[in-house]
Structure 1
Amino acid sequence: MVEGLTTTIQLASLVMAGWCLISVFRDQPMVVPHLVGMAVLWLLLIGQGVVSTVLMAGGERPGEFIVFVSYLITVVLVPPACAVWGFMERSRWGPAVIAFACLILPVMMVRLEQLWNPASV
Structure 2
Amino acid sequence: MIAGFTTAAVVVAAIAAVLGVALGLAGRKPSDLSLAGPALVELLLLAQLVIAIVAPFTGNEPTGNPVEFYAYLISALIIPPAAIFWALTERTRWSVVVVGIACFAVAVMFVRMQIIWTVQGA
TM-score exceeds 0.5: yes
Q: Does 1:82 align with 2:48?
A: no
Structure 2 length as normaliser, TM-score?
0.87
Determine if contact 1:114/1:120 at 8 Å carries over to the other structure.
no
Aligned residues: percent identity? 31
Matched position secondary structure for 1:15 = helix
Structure 2's unaligned 5+ residue stretches are: none
Q: What corresponds to 1:56 in structure 2?
A: 56
2:31 matches 1:31: yes
Residue of structure 1 in register with 2:106 after alignment: 105
> Are the aligned partners of 2:23 and 2:34 in contact in 1 as well (CA < 8 Å)?
no
Q: CA deviation at 1:43?
A: 0.8
1:16 matched to 2:13? The reply is no
Describe the SS at the equivalent of 1:29. Answer: coil
Q: CA RMSD in A?
A: 1.9
Q: List per-residue Cα deviations over 1:26-82 (Å, max 9, x = no partner).
A: 111111222222222211111111111111355624421111111111112211111
Residue in 1 that maps onto 2:95: 94
Size of the alignment, in residue pairs? 121
Distance change (3 Å), C-alpha of 1:119 and 1:73:
closer
1:29 touches 1:90 (CA, 8 Å); kept in 2?
yes
TM-score (structure 1 length as normaliser): 0.88
